[in-house]
Amino acid sequence: MEIEKAIRQKKFKDPYERVLVNLLYTSSRLEYKQTCVFKNFGLSMQQYNILRILKGRFPEPITVNMLIERMIDKSSNASRIVEKLRTKGFLERKICPEDRRRVDIFITDKGAEVLAEATAALYRMHDDWRNLTDEEADTLNALLTKLREKETTESEKQTK
């Protein structure tokens, strides 16, 4: 369905405004569907993201600051999310023996199990969204990367 029909808007200021609204609308729909999948496993999107990061680093530990750097949603309160996952038994926090100020975080077997189940359900949901060819998906990925390039360049200038 065209974005104009989906949100009942006749026209946009220019093609860039249409792209941004289309991205926001599509992102919102995808986020809603993923949230429904994660809810079945007692997870939020941010908790799922942290479990994936931990699984990717396993068996190496990770710190909260390293999690924040790798998270999709940078505005999330990683410390609070880590604590929720710890109380569910999905991860462990251990004081680093070499640096007692550092807390290392590891995924548990229970966390890896729920992550595997949630990921399988997520992939099934993603199959419903597979209506692009591999070439079209590659093109879309390249365009999205290009769209973020200016933002990335601007934020790099601000940090210098």
Closest CA to 44 of 87, 78, 74, 81: 81
Asked if pLDDT for residue 19 goes beyond 80, the answer is: yes
For the chain, residues classed under CATH 1.10.10.10 are 42-127
Q: What is the pLDDT of residues 130-152, one digit of tens each?
A: 888 889 989 999 999 998 887 76
- Are 94 and 106 a contacting pair, CB within 8 Å? yes
DSSP H or E stretch at residue 95: strand 91-95
User: Which residues are CB-neighbours of 103 under 8 A, at least 6 positions away?
Assistant: 63, 64, 93, 94, 95, 96
Q: What is the pLDDT of residues 20-53, one digit of tens each?
A: 899 999 989 999 999 999 999 999 999 999 999 9
Q: What is the pLDDT of residues 101-133, one digit of tens each?
A: 778 899 999 999 999 999 999 999 888 778 888
Query: Which string of DSSP letters, residue by residue, matches 56-118?
Result: HHTTS-B-HHHHHHH-S-TTS-HHHHHHHHHHTTSEEEEE-SS-TT-EEEEE-HHHHHHHHHH
DSSP state of 108: -
For 42-127, the fitting CATH number among 2.60.40.1120, 1.10.10.10, 3.50.50.60, 3.90.1150.10 is 1.10.10.10
Query: By percentage, how much of the chain surpasses pLDDT 70?
Result: 94
Closest CA to 117 of 28, 64, 55: 55
Round to whole Å and give the CA distance between 126 and 104.
33
